[in-house]
Structure 1
Amino acid sequence: MNDREYLAGRFEAHRGHLKAVAYRMLGSLTEAEDAVQEAWLRLSRTDAGEVENLGGWLTTVVGRVCLDMLRTRTSRREEPLEGRLPDPVVSPASGPDPEQAALLADSVGLALLVVLESLTPAERLAFVLHDMFAVPFEEIAPLVGRSPASARQLASRARRRVRGSAPVPDPDLARQREIVTAFIAAAHRGDFAELVALLDPDVVLRADAGALTGGGLAEVRGAANVAGQALTFRRYSPSTAHAALVNGLAGVVNTVDGEPSAVMSFTITDGRIVEIDILADPDRLSRLDLSVLTD
């Protein structure tokens, strides 16, 4: 084994962790892969023998790459990512594979990712690296060009935003599944009263149909309004709503004529649905491997 092969092996041992960092930073699976690849390129140009803690070094490199990517989005005045749902990680109802499990450590649901999209790039970096991956503020500070105390303040502001906005899902996955199944059945029957009973009064539904369809991201709030919207799901009978885990939570992959048409994620708190996130963008759905769920 030559030096490059040895280095590649060491890098691969950290790949899952690095992708988890990048996914939380970017909310995009494709961009997360790009960030990890960029970290490998930078490592291959570095004298790795001088790196004492390779995992820590790679984590900060990925953080810096992601920060640059977030800032580039803003400087180019591109459509902000909060204008679309983050990419979902879809797994069979039986559970995620090892790679998906590593990516979703600490239960990063879509509801949390949506809140992270509202942070500034520097706030997001400080929060993700420190609160999710225990990177010291002394190592975060140079990445954002601030003192450790200022980096701590960035994370603190982000933490308050997250705690005030991101619902904490109930941990009982079996109970989550029961509620989701009941919701799909009630929508198929057109049972408005049952739908309202399953929803939190302040429930939020987000549906991303994609820019190419002219739909974009739409948001509906309140139990009555969301229940009314859910009545349009009547075409999704229980036979076309395939049970899945979406970012570790109970969800479904809907199909029309055997083809995936939407991924639905449900966040359930205190026994009621508080958030529903629906990705129905045909372009983005085509990039997800959903065959294991719909075969």
Structure 2
Amino acid sequence: MDSTAVFEASRSRLASLAYRLLGSAADAQDAVQDAFLRWQGAEVERIEVPEAWLTKVVTNLCLDRLRSARARHERAVGSWLPEPLLDGDPMLGPADTAEQRESVSLAVLLLLERLSPNERAVYVLREAFSYSHAEIAQILDITEASSQQHGHRAKRRVADAHRGGEVDPESARRIVEEFLAAAGSGRVERLVALLTDDATAVSDRAGLSDAILEFSTPEKLAAIFRAGFKPTEAKRRIIGGSPQIHLAFVNGDPAMLAVFEGDVVGMVAFTVAGDKIAFACGIGAPHRLGRLTAAWREREPGEPLIASW
């Protein structure tokens, strides 16, 4: 097998690793391409374990990006959200275990932003790719004890903040339909009843603002949802018409997609705890929805929840 074929055999895994570390499909692709250039310039015949070499290179390229002054500024000013991916996208990577599926949810990707780059890397390598702490220590050039400490802190902080669980398609559809009915009813109490007591949400205001808005308390969330999901002529003018509302799974969580003429013009993904919504992430900026739209266009969407919003 030639060197290019060796790299291509690992490309999908490397991309899913980079996506978990960076939260952006576009940035992940750039990191993998940079790794390919380094691979081409290396004496590959002297590399005993190509997978380990490539994992180390991609991980450290991603950490360099996370530590860069530009990246720190962009993420610190509150203008960053993960890039959502439609379930089935190969960049979501391994999904055999609950830990692997959880590690790529939008809620967890946002939580990982609160970790140091090393904590984030240890969490992803350990939880999503099952590397041992000895292997992670070699990848990050740290001691095994440091890897264990980073991993323990990261896992505890994620567990303390993440309250979601897995949802089957039937339950997801019921929860989303109830949400739509409650949001359209104009009655805040119906929405509050669907939310956990400590529910939170983030939104890019349908892409109309660079600032990411964060909401807490069920009452505040319910008021925002009621206003946001009430159809108006002004909203239709911005979109260009009346979108359909579809149920989908995005990053493993149930989501509503607003689709107009084949384009996903808005998305809200839900983290569900029991039978209530614990977290919602609303995204409408076109630059965050491009890959999701491309994947959606390749699907047979099925009947919408709402044919004309």
User: CA distance change for structure 1 residues 75 and 271 in 2, over 3 Å: closer, same or farther?
Assistant: closer
Q: 2:52 aligns with which of 56, 68, 76?
A: 56
The letter for the 1-side match of 2:215 is V
Aligned-partner Cα distance in 1 for 2:120–2:299: 32
1:22 corresponds to: 18
CA positional deviation for 1:239? 6.8
Q: 1:249 aligns with which of 249, 253, 265?
A: 253
Check if 1:181 corresponds to 2:198. no
CA contact (8 A) 1:242 1:294 kept: no
CA positional deviation for 1:40? 1.2
TM-score, reference length from structure 2: 0.82
Aligned-partner Cα distance in 1 for 2:243–2:30: 37
The letter for the 2-side match of 1:102 is G
Number of aligned residue pairs:
285
Q: Map of 1:113-132 to 2, 5 A cutoff?
A: 113-132=109-128
Q: Map of 1:154-173 to 2, 5 A cutoff?
A: 154-173=150-169
User: CA distance change for structure 1 residues 228 and 69 in 2, over 3 Å: closer, same or farther?
Assistant: same
Q: 2:222 aligns with which of 207, 219, 227?
A: 227
Check if 1:217 corresponds to 2:212. yes
CA positional deviation for 1:192? 2.4
What SS does the corresponding residue of 1:90 show, helix, strand or coil?
A: coil
Q: CA RMSD in A?
A: 2.8
Check if 1:195 corresponds to 2:209. no
Aligned-partner Cα distance in 1 for 2:106–2:159: 15
What SS does the corresponding residue of 2:202 show, helix, strand or coil?
A: strand
Seq. identity, %: 33
2:269 corresponds to: 265
What SS does the corresponding residue of 1:67 show, helix, strand or coil?
A: helix
CA positional deviation for 1:251? 0.5
Aligned-partner Cα distance in 2 for 1:170–1:132: 16
CA contact (8 A) 1:203 1:274 kept: yes
CA contact (8 A) 1:81 1:117 kept: no
Aligned-partner Cα distance in 2 for 1:189–1:148: 55
Aligned-partner Cα distance in 2 for 1:253–1:284: 13
CA positional deviation for 1:48? 2.0
Q: 1:102 aligns with which of 88, 93, 98?
A: 93
Check if 1:280 corresponds to 2:302. no
Aligned-partner Cα distance in 1 for 2:231–2:279: 21
What SS does the corresponding residue of 1:57 show, helix, strand or coil?
A: helix
Aligned-partner Cα distance in 1 for 2:139–2:91: 28
Aligned-partner Cα distance in 2 for 1:242–1:119: 34
CA positional deviation for 1:270? 0.9
The letter for the 1-side match of 2:148 is R
Map Cα deviations across residues 191-216 of structure 1 (whole Å, 9 max, x no partner).
32221121111111110248x73352
Structure 1 residue ranges without an equivalent (≥5): none
Q: 1:291 aligns with which of 294, 297, 301?
A: 297
TM-score, reference length from structure 1: 0.86
CA contact (8 A) 1:27 1:113 kept: yes
Structure 2 residue ranges without an equivalent (≥5): 237-241, 302-309
User: CA distance change for structure 1 residues 83 and 60 in 2, over 3 Å: closer, same or farther?
Assistant: same
Aligned-partner Cα distance in 1 for 2:140–2:110: 22
